Amino acid sequence: MSTEPTRIAPPGAKVGLVAGGLGAYWPQFPDLLPQLTRSAERVSERMRALGCDVVDVGFISDAQEGAAAAERLREAGCDIIVGFLTTYMTATMLLPVAQRSGAPVLLINLQPTESMDHAAFDTGQWLAYCGACPLPEMANTFIRAGIPFRSVSGHLEDERAWAKIGRWVRAAGVRAALRRGRHGLMGHLYPGMLDVATDLTLVPVNFGGHVEVLEFDDLRVRVEKVAESEVKERMDLAGDIFELDESVNEEDFAWAARVSVGLDRLADDFALDSLAYYHRGLDGEVHERLGAGMILGASLLTARGIPAAGEYELRTSLAMLIMDRLGGGGSFTEFQALDFTRGHVEMGHDGPAHLAISARRPLLRGLGVYHGKRGFGVSVEFDVAQGPVTAFGIRHGRDGRFAFVVSEGEVVDGPHLKIGNTTSRVDFGCDPGEWTDAWSATGISHHWALGTGHRTADLRALADLMDVELVEVRP
C-alpha cells in the first residue's frame, strides 16, 4: 500500500517558441544561418528540459514567415510566447506573433558564448552575437502597440539567464492553471467574517477560471455511498501517513476516513482544482458532522495537489493552489500569537494542512471541541519544515481588483502548542509587532498560505503576467 496520497499531475505550461533573424544576411554570410539554427535547437532543447510543452514553429527570416508563425501559435493556444532574437531582425517579424497569440510575450537574447573572439571574428561571426541589437526596437514597437513584454539577455549556457527564463515559464504555467481552474466553494460564509467574503464574479474577472458553487448535500450523498471496505482502506492509508495520538477516537477516525473518501469523489466528479468550505450545523445533525469530519480528507486532498481551505476562504484556497504549483506546498494559516521574547511570529490553523511541507510525520489528534466552530473529531498537527518560507495571500481591494501580498521569512525552532493545529514560528528579521502591523496594513484578510522556500521572485513574475499588483512586506 502507498504511504502517501496519489498526487495529481497538472499539465505544464504550453510554450510557443519562435526564433528569427534577418533574411538579408543569409546570402551574404553563408555560415551564419546554420549557426543560428543550431542555437535555436539548443534553446528548444533547454526549454523542454523545464518540463513544459514546447510548440516550436521554427526559424523565421522575414515578415511573411513571421505572419505564418503567428497563425500557427495562435491556433496552438499557448500560455506564453518566447521570441528568440538570434541576431538582428525587424519588429515586423515578431509584432504579428505578439498581437495574434493573446499570450504573454518573453523576448530572449542569448548569444552563443559569454564573449566574442574579437581578434578572429569577421562580420558574419559577429552577427551571431547581435541578438541584443533588435531588443530596443522590439520593446519600442510593443510599447507603442500596447503589448506588455519582458526580456532576458545572456548567453546560451548562462544559468543565470535560464533561471529567469524558467521563472517566466513556471509563472505562465500557474497563470494557465488559474485561467482553466475549477474552484469549489461549499457551504456558507462563517458568520461575521466580512474579510473572507468574496464576490464570486471577481475570481474569473481577476484570474479567469470557474467557481463551482456546491452544497454540503453534494458531499453528503457521496459520503453515504462509501463502503465499509473503503473506510478501512482510508484508515489504513491515514495510519501510514500520520502518527495517531492516543486522543484519537476510533469512531471519529472512521467517520473522518469516510468523509475523506466522499471528498475525493466530490473533487473528481466536479473536476475541482481547489476547494473552500464551511458549514455551521446544529445539534449534531449530519451536516454538522460532515463539517467536523473534513480535516483529514481536506489535508489528504491538499496533499494530492487539490488545496482545500476551511472557513469558506476562497481567496486562500487560490493562494494555496498558486503556492502548490510553484512547488512551495502552501498550508492554510493565520496569526496565532507573537513571541516578543524570541522575536517570532507564531502562525498556523486548525483544519486542513499541506502534508508535504511538514517538518516531521504529521500527527492526528482527537479534539472534543473545535474552537469557535461546532462539532468535534480528529485534527492535523505539525510544524512547517524549518528553513526559508513565504507568507502569501490574495487581497481583495475596494476597487474589486485582487493583489498579491508576500513576505519572506524563516521557520525556526521553538516551543509549540499541542492543540491539534499546524503551528510554525516564523522569523521575519524584525520585531514581530512591526511585521504584524505592516502585514495587516496591506488589507490582507486574516488567512493566507504559508509555503516553503523564498517565492517572491516567482510570485512577482506571475503578478506581471496577470497584471496583478504585488505588495511585498519588508518592514
Name the residue among 182, 225, 429, 411 with its Cα closest to residue 314. Answer: 182
- pLDDT for 216 equals 97
* Burial class of residue 100 in the structure, from the number of CB atoms within 10 Å of its CB (0-12 exposed, 13-18 middle, 19+ buried): middle
* C-beta separation of 251 from 376 below 8 A: no
* C-beta separation of 238 from 261 below 8 A: no
- pLDDT for 1 equals 38
> Cβ neighbours of residue 84 under 8 Å, at least 6 residues apart?
17, 18, 19, 20, 39, 40, 43, 108, 110, 131
Name the residue among 407, 411, 398 with its Cα closest to residue 358. Answer: 411
**Largest Cα–Cα distance of the chain, in whole Å?**
87
What the block records as the C-alpha cell of 307 is 488545496
* C-beta separation of 98 from 145 below 8 A: yes
Separation between Cα atoms, residue 161 and residue 169, nearest integer Å: 13
Separation between Cα atoms, residue 289 and residue 297, nearest integer Å: 13
Name the residue among 288, 327, 324 with its Cα closest to residue 306. Answer: 324
What letter represents residue 177's amino acid? A
- pLDDT for 475 equals 77
Separation between Cα atoms, residue 330 and residue 323, nearest integer Å: 5
* C-beta separation of 298 from 257 below 8 A: no
Name the residue among 303, 302, 327 with its Cα closest to residue 316. Answer: 302
What the block records as the C-alpha cell of 315 is 481567496
- pLDDT for 371 equals 63
Separation between Cα atoms, residue 89 and residue 137, nearest integer Å: 9
Query: Hey, what long-range contacts does 362-365 have (CB within 8 A, 24 or more apart)?
Result: 362/241, 362/242, 362/243, 362/299, 363/242, 363/243, 363/244, 363/245, 364/238, 364/242, 364/243, 364/244, 364/245, 364/248, 364/253, 364/296, 365/245, 365/247, 365/248, 365/418, 365/419, 365/420
Q: Domain-by-domain residue ranges, the chain?
A: 14-174, 181-472
Quickly tell me which residue has 494542512 as its cell. Answer: 353
Separation between Cα atoms, residue 343 and residue 425, nearest integer Å: 9
Separation between Cα atoms, residue 62 and residue 336, nearest integer Å: 61
Q: pLDDT tens string for the chain (475 positions)?
A: 345 678 888 888 999 999 999 999 999 999 999 999 999 999 999 999 999 999 999 999 999 999 999 999 999 999 999 999 999 999 999 999 999 998 999 999 999 999 999 999 999 999 999 999 999 999 999 999 999 999 999 999 999 999 999 999 999 999 999 999 999 999 999 999 999 999 999 999 999 999 999 999 999 999 999 999 999 999 999 999 999 999 999 999 999 999 999 999 999 999 999 999 999 888 889 999 999 999 999 999 999 999 999 999 999 999 999 999 999 999 999 999 999 999 999 998 877 888 988 888 999 998 877 766 676 788 888 888 999 999 999 999 999 999 999 999 999 999 988 887 888 999 999 999 999 999 999 999 999 999 999 999 999 999 999 999 999 999 7
Separation between Cα atoms, residue 298 and residue 260, nearest integer Å: 7
Name the residue among 319, 417, 418, 331 with its Cα closest to residue 366. Answer: 418
Residues in the chain: 475
- pLDDT for 383 equals 86
Separation between Cα atoms, residue 276 and residue 312, nearest integer Å: 5
What letter represents residue 439's amino acid? W
Strands 105-111 and 80-85: parallel
Of 1.20.20.10, 2.40.10.120, 3.50.50.60, 3.40.50.10940, which CATH number belongs to 14-174?
3.40.50.10940
Separation between Cα atoms, residue 358 and residue 440, nearest integer Å: 26
Q: At 110, which helix (H) or strand (E)? A: strand 105-111
What letter represents residue 281's amino acid? G
Q: At CA 429, angle to CA 423 and CA 430, rounded to 5?
A: 100
What the block records as the C-alpha cell of 322 is 498558486
Phi, psi of 274 (to 5 degrees): -160, 170
Strands 363-367 and 243-244: parallel
- pLDDT for 5 equals 79
What the block records as the C-alpha cell of 65 is 514567415
Is 121 strand, coil or helix? coil
Of 3.20.14, 2.60.40, 3.30.70, 3.30.300, which CATH number belongs to 181-472?
3.20.14
What letter represents residue 22's amino acid? L
